[in-house]
Structure 1
Amino acid sequence: MSELINNREHRQKILKEVIKELHEGKTVEEVKAKFAEVIKGVSAKEISEMEVQLVKEGLPIEEIQNLCDVHAAVFKGSIEEIHHPEEVPGHPIYTMRQENKAIEEHIENVIKPNLVRFKGNDSKENIFTLIADINLLWDIDKHYSRKENLIFPYLEKYGITAPPKVMWGVDDEIRAKIKDIKLSLTSYKGNKDEVAEKVEEMLIQIKEMIFKEDSILFPMCLDTLTEDEWISIYDESDEIGYALIAPEGKWNRVRVNVEQKAKEEINNTVDNGYIKFETGILTSKEINYILNTIPGDMTFVDKDNIVKYFSQGKERIFARTKAVIGRSVENCHPPASVNVVDKLVDDLRRGKKDSESFWIKMGDKYILISYFAVRDENGEFLGTLEFSQDIAPIQAITGEKRLMSE
C-alpha cells in the first residue's frame, strides 16, 4: 500500500476520487476516513493539479466551487509543511497573511461578540454596531481584488487556471453575502434568527477562505512566481489598497527587473517622437495624457481576447493593474459572468452588434458601462473597447449654463 501511496499518479487518481465522492453525496467524515492515509502529506501543488485535471475531464468550475469548503475541510491538517524563502515585512504574501490575521481578529474579537449581543437583544444600538462591523469587514474586498487582479494573472501564465477560477467564484459569494447582510441589517424587519444565521455562515466561509489562502494558494504562489513578478505585484498593490491594515514598511527588493528597465529606456525614446494619425500628429506622451484625461475608464481587448490597454484617469471606477496586460479577458472576470462576456464579444466580432451597454448603481455613482466593436476601414474586427463613466453628474444637469464658472 505504501508503494501505491508514494506513486504520484495513483495519489492523483485517489485525490480526484475524493472530490467526486463528495460530489456524489458522501460526508466529509466518510471521505476523510477512507482516504486518511492517502491524503497524508498531500501538497498544495497536487491539489492544484487535481483541480486542473477535474476541469479538463469536464467537471464544471461551479461544481468544484460548490465543494470548495468541504474540500478544504478534508485536506485541513493533512497538507504538508512546505519551506519557502523567508518572508519579510512588505512582501506581498507577508502583507496578505497579516491581512488574514487582522480579518480573523476582527471576526473573533469584534463581530462574534457583537453578534452574541444582537442575538440576545436586537436593539437599534446593537443593530447599528453590527452594521459598523460589517462595513469594516467589507475591506476584505481589497484583499480579494489584489489576489484576483495581481496574483491570478501570473498563475495563469504558468498554466494554473482552475484554482484561481474556483477561488474567485468563492470570493464573489462572500462579497454577495456581506452585501446581503448589510442590506438585511439596514432594513431590519425583526428577523433576528435569519440575520444571525446569515452572519454565521458568512464568517465560516471567510475563515475557510483564509485557510485555503494560507495553506494552498500562498505556498503555490511562492513556489511558482519569480522575484520580478513579486516586484510587479508589490509596485501595483497600493493602487487597489489593503484590508484593515497597512503594509509593515517598504519591501527591500533584492533584484532589479532588467527587462522592465530595457522597456522603460525604449519608451523614453519613443516619447521624443511623433505618431502620425489621419487627422494630426501626437507624441506618445500626449496620447497617454489625453486618454487619461477623458472622464471615464477605457480598456481595449484585441481580436484574440487579450487585454492590450487601459487608461489611468484620476478617479478610476473599476480597479485595473498592469498585471492585466496580456491576460485573456475571460480570466479578468468572475466565473459567473464569463458566459456573458463571451457572448457579448462574439456578437461584436460577428457584426451582430456594434455596441452594448449596461448601467449599475454603485453608492452615489450611476455607472454606464459600454462596449464597442473596433473595426478598420474594411470592417475587419480589431477588438473591443470598454468605456465606463459615472453619469450621475450628467443626469443631474438641468436648465442651461452659458457663463464660465468662477
Structure 2
Amino acid sequence: MTDERIHILKDILLDLHQGASPDSVQERFNQTFAGVSAIEISLMEHELMNSDSGVTFEDVMSLCDVHANLFKQAIQHVEVADADQAGHPVRVFKDENLALRAALIRIRRLLESYEQAEDSAIRTEIIKGLQRQLALLGQFDNHYRRKEELFFPLMEKYGHDSPPKVMWGVDDQIRDLFAIVQTDSQQLEEQGIEVLKQSFEAFAVEFESMIFKEESILLMILLECFTQDDWLQIAGESDTFGYAIIRPKEKWTPERHNFTSERNEEAVSEVVGTEQVIHHRIDTPDGELSISFTPKKQSEQETQAFGNGYLSIEQANLILNHLPMEITFVNKDDIFQYYNDAVPSEEMIFKRTPSQVGRHVELCHPPKLLPKVRAIFTALHEGRKDKFEMWFNSESRGQFVHVTYKAVRDVAGEFQGVLEYVQDIAPYRAIETDVYREIDE
C-alpha cells in the first residue's frame, strides 16, 4: 500500500465532498485500483479527518453512503477460517444480520396485510403481530452496542479511529429513525398506514445500508487486523451487551497451538541467601538457553498507608468492589483508567468491559453526546464546577438512576481526573418509615 494510492483515494472523496457525482469518479476509481482493501478505506478516512483538507467528521459521516456504493464492487475479500465457526463474533454478527433482515421482511408483509385488510378484528391481530416483530427488530440495539463497545475500542488500538466515529454517528441516526417507527406504530389507527409505511421505509433503507457497511467494510477491517486473542476477548465480553434475536448456541473454542510443548524445558528453584532464584533451561535447535531470575515478591497482602489507616492492595480492591455503586475513574488526560466490579457486567447500569480501559473518554460515548461530555469534563478540569449530578427514571429496568461526576483533586488542588459513580436509588426513594433497624426483626 503506497502513499500515492491513499492520496488518490483521498482526492476522490474530496471531489465527492465538493459536489462531484459518484458516476463522475467511478471510472477514475476503476482505472486506478484493481481492488482496494478495507484497511485503505480506514486510512483514507483517517487522513481526511486529521489533515488540513477542511473535511470534518460530519462531512465524512455524510459521505458514508457514497463510500459504501463506491467501494462495493472493489473491496478485497479476506477469508479467516475461524470466522466461520459457530460462536465466533463474526459468525454471530452475520447471523444476527440475517435474522434482522428476516424481521424487516415480516414487518413489510404485515404492513401490506394491514393495508389490504378490511375487517377490524383482523387488523387488530395484525397490529399485535406488528408490535411483536418491531420488538424483535428493536434488538438491533444490542447488535450495535456490541459493535460500539467491543469492536471499536480494539479498532482504535490499531489506529483505526475514524471508522468508529463515523459509524457510531450513523448508528445513532438509525436509532432515531426507529424511535419514529415505534411512535407511528403505536398511533397507527389514528394516523393511518401510510405514515407508518413511510417512516418504516426511511428506517429500513438506512438500516439495510448499515448491514452492507458492517459486512463489506467494517468486518473486512477487523478480519485484517484483529488477532485470535482479540476475537476471544470480544467473544468473552459479548454476553454483557446481549444479542439481536438469536444467541450463539455454543462457545467458540478455537484450535490453539502449544508451542512450549515442542521444546525441552527445565526449571529449577533454589534459595540464595534470603532470595528465591529460578533457573530456567530451554533446549533449542541452536543450542541451550539458560535464564536465571528472582520472582517479584507478592505485595498484595502487604499493607500500606491509606488515608487514615492501612490497607493492602487486595483489601482496597475488595472494598471498591463491595461499594453499592458503579465507579469509573477517568484520569487527568481524559483516559478511561478504572472501573470497579460491584456487580456482574451484564447487570451494570452503565455497562463496562475490560476492552474499554485505556480509551479516551470521548471515544466511549456516542458522537451526539460529545458536546455534553466535553462541557462536563472541561468545567471540572478548569475548576468552574466540582461536580455534576443527574438522575433519570428507568421504568424498563425498575430503577431510578442517580449519576455523579466528581472532580478529583490532589492535596495541592491540582486536577487529577474525574470520578463517576452511579447507583440505583429506587430502594431509598421507596422508604416510607422514619426508623428501621433490621437487627430488631
Provide TM-score, normalisation by structure 1.
0.87
Output the amino acid matched with 1:237: S
SS of 2:348's equivalent? Answer: coil
Of 327, 340, 363, the residue aligned with 1:311 is: 340
Residues 228 and 255 in structure 1, CA contact (< 8 A), matched pair in contact too: no
User: Unaligned regions of 5+ residues in structure 1, if any?
Assistant: 1-6, 259-265
Deviation digits for residues 64-101 of structure 1 (CA, Å, limit 9, x no counterpart): 11221232122223322233344222222222122222
**Count of matched residue positions in the alignment of Structure 1 and Structure 2:** 392
Equivalences for 1:153-168 in 2 at 5 Å? 153-168=153-168
Tell me what 1:52 maps to: 46
Q: Kindly indicate whether structure 1 or structure 2 has the higher relative contact order, using CA contacts under 8 Å at least 6 residues apart.
A: 1
Structure-2 separation of matches of 1:366 and 1:342: 25
Tell me what 1:298 maps to: 327
Higher helix proportion = 1
Structure-2 separation of matches of 1:257 and 1:360: 51
Structure-2 separation of matches of 1:257 and 1:288: 33
Tell me what 1:70 maps to: 66
Output the amino acid matched with 2:71: F
Structure-1 separation of matches of 2:113 and 2:325: 44
Structure-2 separation of matches of 1:234 and 1:274: 37
Tell me what 1:344 maps to: 376
Deviation digits for residues 214-258 of structure 1 (CA, Å, limit 9, x no counterpart): 111112112112222222222212222222112241222344999
Higher-Rg structure is: 2
Structure-1 separation of matches of 2:391 and 2:319: 25
Of 53, 77, 82, the residue aligned with 1:81 is: 77
Structure-2 separation of matches of 1:234 and 1:268: 33
Verify: 1:128 aligned to 2:124, yes or no: no
Seen in structure 2, the aligned counterparts of structure 1 residues 99 and 257 have a Cα distance that, compared at 3 Å, is: farther
Verify: 1:100 aligned to 2:93, yes or no: no
Residues 111 and 193 in structure 2, CA contact (< 8 A), matched pair in contact too: no
SS of 1:356's equivalent? Answer: strand
Output the amino acid matched with 1:374: V
Residues 297 and 388 in structure 1, CA contact (< 8 A), matched pair in contact too: yes
Equivalences for 1:139-218 in 2 at 5 Å? 139-188=139-188, 189-218=190-219
Higher strand proportion = 2
Of 373, 380, 396, the residue aligned with 2:414 is: 380
Structure-2 separation of matches of 1:209 and 1:257: 39
Tell me what 1:23 maps to: 17
Shift of 1:14: 3.7
Residues 168 and 367 in structure 2, CA contact (< 8 A), matched pair in contact too: yes
Residues 77 and 220 in structure 2, CA contact (< 8 A), matched pair in contact too: no
SS of 2:438's equivalent? Answer: coil
Residues 339 and 352 in structure 2, CA contact (< 8 A), matched pair in contact too: yes
CA RMSD of aligned residues (A): 2.8
Tell me what 2:401 maps to: 367
Residues 367 and 389 in structure 1, CA contact (< 8 A), matched pair in contact too: yes
Structure-2 separation of matches of 1:257 and 1:60: 47
Identity percentage over the alignment? 38
SS of 1:301's equivalent? Answer: strand
SS of 2:319's equivalent? Answer: helix
Provide TM-score, normalisation by structure 2.
0.80
Tell me what 1:263 maps to: none
Verify: 1:111 aligned to 2:140, yes or no: no
Residues 228 and 256 in structure 1, CA contact (< 8 A), matched pair in contact too: no
SS of 1:319's equivalent? Answer: coil
Structure-2 separation of matches of 1:267 and 1:225: 32
